[in-house]
């Protein structure tokens, strides 16, 4: 186990807490109809985004799914721009055009946000291809779920990445359910990490509830990719404590199972570890909570105060506004 | 005091049924606590509170279905006593600050051309061309698909007019329109009757006719005619009807208000004088093909034109313009033995001149009684366009011109 | 246009290849990616010899993974390359439809203007080779329905040679459809032929009596038909659309203002076709110029059959174009 670095761990704790409280707030706002459409919460999976982002650098690229608030926050997008986006406001990261499922940010090389399961995998391959062809050594990291493993795009992308030895980190967030269908009903072989072998690709599986474990595993994976050894599949075994989306009665899993997984809350795991090592106090946790609460409150205020994109701009950005010479 | 409302759990959730309260009034609750069960089309949901406080009295009872956003209960903060104010369980105000519901800019649609006469199947382009060229669509026979008027039909009219023809008069309604062409006798006759029926009915309905008649002494013109015909071969003989037609044309020059169309509530005087003259068909029925520019034809030319027209009319070989161009009509029923013709005007013309038989009549002149060859000339005219005054002037002119046959 | 240009005999296929070569030389970011473009030399031999000239990185064979490599093309474009993705035929593009529609066409708008996709996708299209239903589609009209895409249809040698570079310069996704029956077409092309505009339709043959609007291989059927009709005193004006999205309305509307009659010839199926769209636009903007209803000649609404006579019967033909125009002109 990696040595506990206090500052680093507390930063990670704060990030996970930010994600947690942000998601809880989003649920409240969705219930109050401030946020509309679909809302997919990352609660329970925070360690995966935070752990992986810890080993990615600013030059790297990130592609994610519709359950991407955690990745977006961990990547460095502001809570305000995400919240405003979900409110549909012009001040949101995408002018309010994308909403919860389509967060994009050029500044942090965050390529969405994708409502099509597996839709981002080929895009990832392409980004990595561009890096290879232009002699750049950065990594493209793609987050996707266990459901995406069934899609043709997964197999095509894994094959292409391995075939062309592209610098891709495939991160599968295996939360055991593709919407309402358990893994055992979707995969003949439920061992996702093992699938990489059929493409000649390196892989590992890791406990996705433990941010330190995730960071360590991701670190190894990224090192592999950066040194030009080809792509890597990292399966993070995790669990979402909330339903698939807001409008889901969870008929497909038992409360007992959820409660059992809640015993392994990634935030508690790290906090307990810090406290046990004498590196963290209850007061410090309180302080973190207050900071996070303030940040979220500011984000909500920002979103509330936001404005609507004028309808006259509807047809803007169907095509680029500036043409290259 | 916080409001605990029925939450929106999904885009298609509009209402929720409160199935069971899981807390009691007065019970302290914390943010995230499950306080009730709600049923929706998706199934049963546990719903949570988002703030700390004391649960108030339920405002919605178990078993009630309410819209999303309805206040289910109040949550007081721990320090306040629970207020007893009745809060109605109202539906929520509209979601905060919905963006203005403007529709995006819709590209403008061109305004339709005004002023085209309705009722006829006519291509849009032909319709516009007709307006440009001042062609009355009511007078055009269409040769397009299904009898629709096309540009070529308008162009033909315009070309004919340039060559001296006036805009056309439709004898038949375009709905029943068919170019004149050989067809079997029975169909032809039936069609003919239909057309005539339609025309005369319309005439009767729309045109306020007035009638004038005069007796014309034809002794001088007939004498002149006899002398002329002596110089000619049988084929070149001139008939009295030619004199009458020419005289009508010249008289119309004097009283032009009788040579035109009544359209759109006004008289359109036509400068060209095309006389439609009735030709009886062997199979029954009547056609009034037009002799063009009668005022400019010599008597001989007029005779030849008449003969040609009669022949082609009976053979069914008329041109479209001949059927439609007449600006005035003449009916000569003299050879039927009728003394006086009281005609029915062919709309949109405004006059019809009738001639009865030429017969010897007693004639008083200069106190002396004689016998002269006379003909009763009648004028049926549209009272909207002219009055008896003009009509009288016309008949007077007609007589005057006939008395100078050498100048016809 | 200079008066005496050096011309050379060439084919449509050669013109496309030259376009690719020129682009690859001009801009190192350009590369060709698709099935059998490298070692095989291209399904239609368009890229024959290019692997030897440019190497496997830039003439990149892909596995049979349409969705995968079209999406990769999108990603590569986002990452600063200028990929030419070749989908063997429009028939197989259906496997990549999600990537084309939900990502390539949508990304710029959905991200609020942050990410444009400078991707060019070339596809062979059309029927006529007895390849039967699954290999005979003409889906240009479908793609022309999607906002965020440009759709081009080069029919002539000049366009086959010149549209590609202009498309590569476009910051947004461009689809280029090459009719499979045109690859062997021979003709003369200026030695210095270069980029052409991708915005305008062209009058390929002027005429006063009727406007013939068409694109792709049907252009040549229309030109042949016009020649036949000229012998009967009917002068047809033949317009090559060239760009299917956006459509150059101005060119055909100006023509209709003169001729007053229109026939649209479209190899797609009639219902919901591009011809239907054009017909609607003519209704909206040239209604008062029309002397006849707008007519369309499209493929029969059947899956394209294998047997030659049946396939021919299903597609627009010179004789059916001629017959239609004769009928339209027979009135008045």
State the DSSP string of A140-174: EEEEEETGGGGSHHHHHHHHHHHHTT--EEEEEEE
Closest CA to A161 of A140, A145, A136: A140
The nearest CA of chain B is from the CA of A242 a distance in Å of: 12
Candidates C14, C18, C22, C66; catalytic one: C66
Other residues' Cβ atoms within 10 Å of the Cβ of residue B211: 16
Confirm whether C66 is a catalytic residue.
yes
- Are the C-beta atoms of residues C74 and C66 closer than 8 Å to each other? no
Cα A233 to Cα A172: distance, rounded to the nearest angstrom: 7
- Are the C-beta atoms of residues C46 and C17 closer than 8 Å to each other? yes
- State the pTM of this model: 0.70
Domain ranges of chain B: 2-182, 209-407
Q: Does A325 contact chain B (CB < 8 Å)?
A: no
Q: Give the closest of B8, B40, B45 to A30, CB-based.
A: B8
Closest CA to C242 of C119, C140, C173: C140
As to burial, measured by CB atoms within 10 angstroms (0-12 exposed, 13-18 middle, 19+ buried), residue B79 is exposed
Domain B2-182: assigned CATH number: 2.40.50.100
| Arithmetic mean of pLDDT, B262-276 | 87
Q: Which residue intervals of chain C bear CATH 3.40.50.920?
A: 202-329
User: Is C288 in contact with B125 (Cβ distance < 8 A)?
Assistant: yes
The nearest CA of chain B is from the CA of C325 a distance in Å of: 14
The pLDDT value recorded for residue B237 is 87
Angle at B370 between CA B366 and CA B374, to 5 degrees: 105
Instruction: Characterize B106-116 residue by residue with b for buried, 16 or more Cβ atoms within 10 angstroms of its Cβ, and e for exposed.
Output: eeeeeeeeeeb
The pLDDT value recorded for residue A31 is 95
User: Is C98 in contact with A119 (Cβ distance < 8 A)?
Assistant: yes
Q: C249: cis peptide before it, omega within 30°?
A: no
The pLDDT value recorded for residue B96 is 44
Chain A hits for C71, Cβ within 8 Å: 119, 121-123, 125-126, 153, 157
Average pLDDT of chain A is 95
Q: Does A95 contact chain B (CB < 8 Å)?
A: no
The dihedrals phi and psi of C282, each to the nearest 5 degrees, come to -65, -40
Q: Does A249 contact chain B (CB < 8 Å)?
A: yes
**DSSP single-letter state for residue B98:** P
User: Is B143 in contact with C332 (Cβ distance < 8 A)?
Assistant: yes
The pLDDT value recorded for residue B180 is 42
Q: Does C289 contact chain B (CB < 8 Å)?
A: yes
pLDDT truncated to tens, each residue of chain C (332 aa)? 555 689 999 999 999 999 999 999 999 999 999 999 999 899 999 999 999 999 999 999 999 999 999 999 999 999 999 999 999 999 999 999 999 999 999 999 999 999 999 999 999 999 998 888 999 999 999 999 999 999 999 999 999 999 999 999 999 999 999 999 999 999 999 999 999 999 999 999 999 999 999 999 999 999 999 999 999 999 999 999 999 999 999 999 999 999 999 999 999 999 999 999 999 999 999 998 999 999 999 999 999 988 898 999 999 999 999 999 999 998 74
User: Is C78 in contact with A123 (Cβ distance < 8 A)?
Assistant: yes
User: Is A98 in contact with C112 (Cβ distance < 8 A)?
Assistant: yes
Candidates C14, C18, C86, C135; catalytic one: C135
Residue B113 above 90 pLDDT? Answer: no
Chain B hits for A86, Cβ within 8 Å: none
Chain C hits for B124, Cβ within 8 Å: 287-291
Chain A hits for B42, Cβ within 8 Å: 247-249
User: Is C73 in contact with A126 (Cβ distance < 8 A)?
Assistant: yes
Q: Measure CA of the first residue to CA of the last residue in chain C; give whole Å.
A: 41
Chain A stretch 96-115, residues whose beta carbon is closer than 8 A to a beta carbon of chain C: 96-98, 102, 104-106, 111-112, 114-115
CA distances from A73 to A46, A264, B334 (A): 10, 22, 107
Superfamily (CATH H level) for C2-190: Thiamin diphosphate (ThDP)-binding fold, Pyr/PP domains (3.40.50.970)
State which residue of chain A sits closest to B95, comparing Cα positions. A33
Q: Does A165 contact chain C (CB < 8 Å)?
A: no
| Arithmetic mean of pLDDT, B221-231 | 90
| Arithmetic mean of pLDDT, A180-202 | 95
Chain A hits for B7, Cβ within 8 Å: 30-32
- Are the C-beta atoms of residues B246 and B294 closer than 8 Å to each other? yes
Contact residues for A249 (Cβ-Cβ < 8 A; gap 6+): A243, B40, B42, B43, B44, B45
Chain A hits for B40, Cβ within 8 Å: 247, 249
**DSSP single-letter state for residue C103:** I
User: Is C108 in contact with A320 (Cβ distance < 8 A)?
Assistant: yes
Q: How confident is the model at residue B321 (pLDDT cuts 50, 70, 90)?
A: low
The nearest CA of chain B is from the CA of C229 a distance in Å of: 19
Cα A220 to Cα A205: distance, rounded to the nearest angstrom: 12
Q: How confident is the model at residue B148 (pLDDT cuts 50, 70, 90)?
A: confident
- Are the C-beta atoms of residues A158 and A199 closer than 8 Å to each other? yes
The nearest CA of chain C is from the CA of B114 a distance in Å of: 12
- Are the C-beta atoms of residues C51 and C24 closer than 8 Å to each other? no
Cα B211 to Cα B214: distance, rounded to the nearest angstrom: 10
Average pLDDT of chain B is 80
Helix (H) or strand (E) holding B138: none
State which residue of chain C sits closest to B142, comparing Cα positions. C332
Question: Quick one: CA dihedral A202, A207, A213, A215, positive or negative?
Answer: positive
* Best to test chain A binding among B5, B10, B70, B104 (most A CBs inside 10 Å): B10
- Are the C-beta atoms of residues B273 and B261 closer than 8 Å to each other? no
**Strands of the A140-145 sheet, one edge to the other:** A61-63, A140-145, A168-174, A232-237, A202-207
The nearest CA of chain A is from the CA of C152 a distance in Å of: 15
Domain C202-329: assigned CATH number: 3.40.50.920
Chain C hits for B152, Cβ within 8 Å: 332
Contact residues for A143 (Cβ-Cβ < 8 A; gap 6+): A48, A49, A52, A62, A63, A64, A65, A68, A71, A171, A173
Helix (H) or strand (E) holding B211: strand B209-217
- Are the C-beta atoms of residues C17 and C48 closer than 8 Å to each other? yes
DSSP string, B189-207: HHHHHHHHHHHHHHHHHH-
The nearest CA of chain A is from the CA of B98 a distance in Å of: 9
Residue A56 above 80 pLDDT? Answer: yes
User: Is C67 in contact with A156 (Cβ distance < 8 A)?
Assistant: yes
Q: How confident is the model at residue B341 (pLDDT cuts 50, 70, 90)?
A: confident
Question: How long a stretch of residues is chain C?
Answer: 332
- Are the C-beta atoms of residues A264 and A209 closer than 8 Å to each other? yes
Q: Which residue has the higher pLDDT, C26 or B177?
A: C26
The pLDDT value recorded for residue B192 is 63
Other residues' Cβ atoms within 10 Å of the Cβ of residue C139: 22
Cα B217 to Cα B403: distance, rounded to the nearest angstrom: 8
The pLDDT value recorded for residue C263 is 98
As to burial, measured by CB atoms within 10 angstroms (0-12 exposed, 13-18 middle, 19+ buried), residue C318 is middle
Beta pairing, strands B279-280 & A232-237: unpaired
The pLDDT value recorded for residue C204 is 98
Q: Which residue intervals of chain C bear CATH 3.40.50.970?
A: 2-190
The pLDDT value recorded for residue A249 is 85
Residue B169's region, left for phi above 0, alpha for psi from -120 to 50, else beta, is beta
| Arithmetic mean of pLDDT, B308-336 | 77
Task: Name the 3-class secondary structure at C24.
Answer: helix
Q: Give the closest of B9, B11, B102 to A31, CB-based.
A: B9
Counted across chains B and C, CB pairs separated by less than 8 A come out at 41
Chain B hits for A312, Cβ within 8 Å: 104-105
Cα A61 to Cα A140: distance, rounded to the nearest angstrom: 5
Q: How confident is the model at residue B290 (pLDDT cuts 50, 70, 90)?
A: confident
The dihedrals phi and psi of C55, each to the nearest 5 degrees, come to 85, 165
The nearest CA of chain A is from the CA of C111 a distance in Å of: 5
Q: Does B131 contact chain C (CB < 8 Å)?
A: no
Gyration radius from chain C CA atoms? 20
CA distances from B239 to B234, B235, B379 (A): 11, 11, 21
Q: Which residue has the higher pLDDT, B215 or B78?
A: B215
ipTM reported for the complex, 2 dp: 0.86
Cα A23 to Cα A13: distance, rounded to the nearest angstrom: 15
User: Is C63 in contact with A163 (Cβ distance < 8 A)?
Assistant: yes
Contact residues for C166 (Cβ-Cβ < 8 A; gap 6+): C195, C196, C197, C198
- Are the C-beta atoms of residues C259 and C253 closer than 8 Å to each other? no
Q: Does B113 contact chain C (CB < 8 Å)?
A: yes
The nearest CA of chain C is from the CA of A209 a distance in Å of: 31
The pLDDT value recorded for residue C291 is 92
Q: Which of B72-76, B84-88, C120-124 has the lowest mean pLDDT?
A: B84-88
Q: Does C330 contact chain B (CB < 8 Å)?
A: no
Beta pairing, strands B53-58 & B28-29: antiparallel
Residue A243 above 50 pLDDT? Answer: yes
Chain C hits for B151, Cβ within 8 Å: 260, 291, 332
Q: Does A32 contact chain B (CB < 8 Å)?
A: yes
Q: How confident is the model at residue B159 (pLDDT cuts 50, 70, 90)?
A: confident
Class level of CATH domain B209-407? alpha beta
Residue A40 above 60 pLDDT? Answer: yes
Q: How confident is the model at residue B336 (pLDDT cuts 50, 70, 90)?
A: confident
Contact residues for B346 (Cβ-Cβ < 8 A; gap 6+): B169, B171, B199, B203, B276, B288, B326, B329, B352
């Amino acid at each position: 186990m990696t040595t506990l670095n206090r500052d680093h761990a507390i930063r990670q704790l704060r990030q996970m807490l930010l994600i947690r409280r942000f998601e809880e707030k989003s649920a409240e706002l969705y219930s109050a109809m401030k946020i509309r459409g679909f809302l997919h919460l990352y609660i329970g999976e925070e360690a995966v985004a935070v752990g992986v982002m810890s080993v990615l650098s600013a030059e790297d690229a990130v592609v994610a799914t519709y359950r991407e608030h955690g990745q977006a926050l961990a990547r460095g997008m502001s809570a305000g721009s995400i919240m405003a986006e979900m409110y549909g406001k012009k001040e949101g990261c995408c002018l309010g055009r994308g909403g919860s499922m389509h967060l994009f940010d050029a500044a942090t090389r965050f390529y969405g946000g994708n409502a099509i399961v597996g839709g981002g995998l080929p895009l990832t391959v392409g980004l990595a291809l561009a890096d290879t062809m232009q002699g750049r050594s950065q990594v493209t990291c793609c987050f996707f779920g266990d459901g995406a493993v069934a899609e043709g795009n997964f197999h095509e992308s894994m094959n292409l990445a391995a075939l062309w030895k592209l610098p891709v980190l495939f991160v599968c967030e295996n939360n055991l359910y593709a919407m309402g269908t358990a893994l055992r009903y979707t995969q003949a072989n439920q061992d996702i990490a093992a699938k990489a072998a059929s493409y000649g690709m390196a892989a590992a599986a890791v406990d996705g509830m433990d941010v330190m474990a995730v960071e360590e595993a991701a670190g190894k994976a990224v090192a592999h990719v950066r040194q030009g050894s080809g792509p890597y599949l990292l399966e993070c075994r995790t669990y979402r404590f909330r339903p698939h989306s807001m409008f889901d009665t969870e008929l497909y899993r038992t409360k007992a199972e959820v409660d059992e997984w809640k015993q392994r809350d990634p935030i508690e795991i790290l906090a307990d570890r810090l406290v046990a090592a004498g590196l963290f106090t209850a007061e410090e946790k309180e302080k973190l909570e207050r900071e996070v609460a303030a940040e979220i409150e500011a984000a909500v205020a920002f979103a509330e105060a936001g404005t609507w994109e004028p309808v006259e701009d509807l047809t803007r950005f169907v095509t680029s506004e500036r043409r290259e010479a | 005091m916080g409001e605990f409302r029925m939450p929106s759990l999904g885009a298609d959730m509009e209402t929720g049924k409160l199935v069971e309260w899981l807390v009691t009034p007065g019970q302290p609750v914390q943010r995230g606590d499950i306080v009730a069960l709600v049923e929706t089309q998706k199934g049963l949901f546990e719903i949570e509170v988002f703030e700390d406080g004391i649960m108030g009295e339920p405002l919605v009872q178990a078993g009630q279905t309410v819209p999303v956003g309805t206040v289910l209960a109040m949550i007081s903060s721990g320090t306040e006593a629970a207020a007893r104010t009745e809060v109605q369980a109202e539906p929520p105000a509209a979601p905060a600050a919905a963006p203005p519901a403007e529709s995006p800019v819709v590209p403008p649609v061109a305004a339709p051309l005004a002023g085209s006469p309705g009722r006829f199947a006519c291509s849009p382009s032909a319709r516009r061309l007709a307006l440009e060229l001042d062609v009355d669509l009511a007078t055009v026979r269409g040769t397009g698909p299904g009898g629709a008027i096309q540009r070529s039909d308008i162009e033909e009219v315009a070309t004919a007019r340039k060559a001296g023809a006036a805009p056309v008069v439709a004898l038949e309604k375009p709905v029943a329109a068919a170019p004149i062409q050989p067809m079997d006798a029975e169909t032809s006759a039936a069609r003919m009757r239909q057309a005539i029926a339609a025309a005369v009915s319309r005439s009767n309905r729309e045109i306020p006719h007035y009638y004038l008649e005069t007796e014309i002494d034809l002794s001088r013109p007939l004498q002149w005619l006899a002398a002329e015909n002596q110089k000619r071969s049988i084929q070149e003989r001139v008939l009295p009807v030619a004199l009458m037609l020419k005289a009508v044309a010249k008289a119309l020059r004097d009283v032009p208000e009788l040579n035109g169309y009544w359209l759109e509530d006004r008289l359109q005087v036509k400068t060209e004088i095309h006389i439609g003259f009735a030709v009886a068909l062997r199979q029954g029925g009547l056609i009034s093909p037009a002799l063009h520019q009668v005022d400019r034809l010599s008597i001989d030319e007029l005779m030849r034109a008449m003969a040609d027209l009669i022949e082609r009319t009976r053979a069914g070989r008329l041109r479209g313009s001949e059927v439609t161009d007449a600006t005035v009509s003449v009916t000569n029923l003299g050879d039927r033995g009728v003394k006086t013709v009281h005609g029915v005007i062919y709309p949109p013309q405004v006059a019809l001149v009738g001639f009865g038989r030429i017969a010897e009549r007693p004639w008083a002149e200069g106190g002396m009684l004689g016998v002269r060859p006379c003909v009763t000339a009648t004028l049926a005219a549209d009272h909207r366009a002219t009055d008896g005054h003009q009509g009288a002037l016309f008949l007077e002119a007609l007589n005057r011109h006939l008395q100078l046959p050498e100048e016809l | 246009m200079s008066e005496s240009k050096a011309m050379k005999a060439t084919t449509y296929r050669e013109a496309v290849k030259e376009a690719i070569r020129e682009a690859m030389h001009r801009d190192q970011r350009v590369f060709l990616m698709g099935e059998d473009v490298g070692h095989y030399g291209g399904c239609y031999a368009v890229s024959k010899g290019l692997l030897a000239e440019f190497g496997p990185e830039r003439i990149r064979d892909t596995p049979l993974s349409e969705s995968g490599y079209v999406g990769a093309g999108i990603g590569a474009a986002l990452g600063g390359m200028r990929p030419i993705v070749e989908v063997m035929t429009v028939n197989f593009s259906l496997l990549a439809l999600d990537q084309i529609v939900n990502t390539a066409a949508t990304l710029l708008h959905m991200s609020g203007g942050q990410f444009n996709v400078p991707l060019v996708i070339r596809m062979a299209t059309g029927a006529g080779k007895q390849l039967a239903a699954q290999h005979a589609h003409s889906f240009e009209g479908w793609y022309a329905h999607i906002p965020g895409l440009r759709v081009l249809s080069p029919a002539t040698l000049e366009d086959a040679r010149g549209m590609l570079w202009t498309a590569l310069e476009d910051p947004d996704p461009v689809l280029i459809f090459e009719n499979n029956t045109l690859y062997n077409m021979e003709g003369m092309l200026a030695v210095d032929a270069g980029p052409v505009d991708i915005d305008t339709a062209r009058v390929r043959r002027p005429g006063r009596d009727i406007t013939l609007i068409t694109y792709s291989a049907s252009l040549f059927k229309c030109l042949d038909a016009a020649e036949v009709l000229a012998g009967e005193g009917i002068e047809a004006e033949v317009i090559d659309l060239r760009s299917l999205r956006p459509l150059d309305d101005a060119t055909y509307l100006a023509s209709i203002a003169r001729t007053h009659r229109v026939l649209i010839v479209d190899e797609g199926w009639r219902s919901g076709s591009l011809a239907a769209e054009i017909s609607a636009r003519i209704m909206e903007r040239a209604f008062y110029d029309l002397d006849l209803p707008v007519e369309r000649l499209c493929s029969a609404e059947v899956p394209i059959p294998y047997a030659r006579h049946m396939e021919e019967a299903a597609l627009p033909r010179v004789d059916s174009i001629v017959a239609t125009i004769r009928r339209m002109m027979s009135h008045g």
